[in-house]
Amino acid sequence: QVQLVESGGGLAQAGGSLKLSCVASGNIFGINVMGWYRQAPGKQRQLVASISNGGTANYADSVKGRFTISRDNAKNLVYLQMNSLQPEDTAVYYCALTTRGGSSWGQGTQVTVSS
C-alpha cells in the first residue's frame, strides 16, 4: 500500500520561506498526481498545488506567484517551495497522491507564519 511522509514544516516570519518535502512509497503505477493540501483552524481542507507525473502544475489562486510545486518522478518525491509567506498561510499541510487506483494522504506537517 502507498505511504506518504511529509517534512519541512515549522515556524517562519511573514515574508520568509519554507520548503516542504514528501516522499511516496509503495505500488505506484500509471498516470498520477501528487499535491499539497492545507487545513487551517476552522476551515476545510483545500488544495494548494498539484503536479502530474507529466509535469503539469496547478495552484490555488491564493498562492500563485509565491509557491512552487515540483517533483522527482524517479524518487516519488514532491516539493513545495513557499516564498513570501503570510500569516494566512498558517495551516497543517498534507501531501496527497492520486492514481487511477485511488488516493493516499500523509500525516501532515504544521506550518506557522508569524507577523
- Which pLDDT belongs to residue 59? 98
- Which pLDDT belongs to residue 13? 98
In degrees, rounded to 5, the angle at the alpha carbon of residue 44 between the alpha carbons of residues 38 and 46 is 40
Residues linked to residue 108 through DSSP beta bridges, in sequence order? none
Phi-psi region of 43 (alpha: psi -120 to 50; beta: other; left: phi over 0): beta
pLDDT in tens, 46-74: 999 999 999 999 999 999 999 999 999 88
One pLDDT digit (tens) per residue for the chain, 115 residues: 789 999 999 999 999 999 999 999 987 777 899 999 999 999 999 999 999 999 999 999 999 999 999 999 888 899 999 999 999 999 999 999 999 888 999 999 999 999 9
